[in-house]
Amino acid sequence: MSVWEVENLSVGFGARPVVEGLGYAIGAGECVALVGESGSGKSQSWLAPFGLSPGQANGSVRLLGHELVGQDEAALRRLRGAHVGFVFQQPLSALTPHLSIGAQLAEKLVAPDPARLEAMLAEVGIDRPAERLKQFPHQLSGGQRQRAMIAMAIAHAPELLVADEPTTALDASLRHDILLLLDRLRRERGMAVLLVSHDLASVARHADRVVVMRQGRMVESGAAGAIFQRPCADYTRDLVAATPRLDMPVPPLPDIGAALLEAGNIVVRFRRPGWRGGWIDAVKDVSLRICEGEAVALVGGSGSGKSTLARAIARLGPLEGGAVRWRGVVLPGRNAMKPGDRKGFQPVFQDPVDSLDPRWPAWKSVEEPLLRLRPELDTMMRREKVAAALGEVGLDAELAERRPGALSGGQAQRVALARALVSDPDLLILDEATSALDVSVQARIVALLQDIQRRRRLALLFISHDLALVRQLCHRVVVLDRGEVVEAGDTRSLIESPRHPVTRRLVEASQ
């Protein structure tokens, strides 16, 4: 008997269906991955039958033979509580901030005793479990929090574990570890696992079967390896092709010219909050050089200081020591920067919607850099430049009238890219500019970047944690760990023969 059986399931909000005709089954000890872009209905397809969303489920969903569709709230709660564990995307918001990990874990047990709680944390691979039990969610790292969440989800030995984007909020090397942990638990306990994700490549290695969803419908389903190696449906093929891999061919990169930006011995420190004070060294004595037309990748895990370094270089953050030269001339301090000093380089940020003024139509955001950086242009010329930039990033003129709230993530990032390009800079500083986007949207943005890079001979400082992506765009890679450069070199040899353990982990995670 299957642990989890879905048959002809549809979910609707009022008259609008978000899931239609979905069917699959998970047996004990099996892992099925539900894959699709945001808005494909993959989360609603399990939230609604469990009564966890206002969506109306129809069809049949059976948990250990019990029908879920049509049950009242009390019955659903009993079934959820007895047989299912849940792991969500954001461990920080899924944990209660004012209770210690131990207290939250104890809630799951009838008779909690410290030894049992320690054993539970040890099982999910958390080091020093006795100490961790007394800590609060904000004191744990992202990976540890997700492990704690998993410990809670499996505390009552559920037959089914639902993990909805369990690794999306984590950086690449942690992702791999968490998925390996889920594999091990599944094998040891014979649990059925429903893995919901937008990232086909990373789940394909861990799931037995994959169900690909698009716009609420099942596009393709089958054994994980087969789908990834030989996708049948066009959509799946696009999805597989969109996923950057380390063995994909690399397009030729533009030639490199004279030195553009030289950052020497950069130091950034932050004052530690609280009474005791002290300093945190975010970036320690890092030097970096970018030439005309050259793309340099800055990679590292979260907390490695890569964003802080980029902000310091872009003169948008504090700089404690060192100097930044632009074409040989030392740039002044952040507050003394003239518009002319900023003309050569423009940033693009991770969250596209956050980086556009919510009250402005897209074209106005794109126009903004022209006002101060290119004061010689009049209104008509500005309008032409804006239209040209929007055209270059492939955005319809009709969308330019919209505010960011009415744009999709990919469209908003194109607007942000158009804003960065409109003043004709020589260098773009891209801070995780593609990591908040769906895989297929990311692929289109990266293709666009490659195109612009070649056409304009644009230099890039590309900050990322995904080496497969970096490989397609960058000449050189600089690996950062705890504020220090641990390895640097040309992309090819660094990926083929990584020397430092941090680099090795990043390469492994991108495989």
Partner 1 sequence: MRGPLLLLGLLVAAALLGPLLLAWPYDAIDWNAIRAAPGSPGHPLGTDGVGRDLLARALVGTRVTLMVALAAAVTSLLIGVAWGATAGWIGGKTDEAMMRIVDALYALPFMFVVILLMVLFGRSILLVFLGIGAVEWLTMARIVRGQTLSLKQRGFVDAAEAAGQSGGAILIRHILPNVAGIALAYLMLTVPQVVMVESFLSFLGLGVQEPLTSLGILVKEGADEMVTSPHALILPGLLLVGLVVSLTLVGEALRRRFER
Binding site for partner 1 (CB under 8 A): 311, 314-316, 338-340, 342-343, 345-347, 349-351, 354-359, 365, 368-369, 371-373, 416, 419, 423
CB-nearer residue toward partner 1: 276 or 359: 359
DSSP 8-state secondary structure symbol assigned to residue 36? -
Per-position DSSP letters for 270-288, written without gaps between them: EEPSSSS--EEEEEEEEEE
Match 């909050």 to its residue by tokens.
273
Q: Is 278 left (phi over 0), alpha (psi -120 to 50) or beta?
A: left
> CB-side exposure of 30: number of CA atoms within 13 Å?
17
Measure Cα distances from 362 to 189, 397, 407, 408 in Å. 52, 10, 9, 12
Task: Report the nearest approach of partner 1 to the CB of residue 314 (Å).
Answer: 6
Task: Report the nearest approach of partner 1 to the CB of residue 349 (Å).
Answer: 4
Match 């310091």 to its residue by tokens.
312
CB-nearer residue toward partner 1: 49 or 425: 425
The Cα 311–Cα 303 span in angstroms is: 14
Task: Report the nearest approach of partner 1 to the CB of residue 261 (Å).
Answer: 14
CB-nearer residue toward partner 1: 355 or 491: 355
Task: Report the nearest approach of partner 1 to the CB of residue 280 (Å).
Answer: 18
CA angle 385, 387, 393 (to 5 degrees): 100
Residue 9 exposed, middle or buried by CB count within 10 Å (0-12, 13-18, 19+): buried
Element (H or E) spanning 186, and its range?
helix 172-189
Residues in a beta bridge with 324: 263
CA angle 345, 346, 351 (to 5 degrees): 150
Is 266:284 a contact under the CB 8 Å cutoff? no
Task: Report the nearest approach of partner 1 to the CB of residue 404 (Å).
Answer: 9
Task: Report the nearest approach of partner 1 to the CB of residue 291 (Å).
Answer: 21
Element (H or E) spanning 229, and its range?
helix 224-229
CB-nearer residue toward partner 1: 357 or 401: 357
Task: Report the nearest approach of partner 1 to the CB of residue 369 (Å).
Answer: 4
CB-nearer residue toward partner 1: 164 or 431: 431
CB-nearer residue toward partner 1: 22 or 412: 412
Task: Report the nearest approach of partner 1 to the CB of residue 491 (Å).
Answer: 27
CB-nearer residue toward partner 1: 110 or 329: 329
CB-nearer residue toward partner 1: 301 or 425: 425
CB-nearer residue toward partner 1: 315 or 471: 315
Task: Report the nearest approach of partner 1 to the CB of residue 344 (Å).
Answer: 11
The Cα 422–Cα 384 span in angstroms is: 10
In this structure, what are the phi and psi dihedrals at residue 311, rounded to the nearest 5 degrees?
Answer: -65, -40
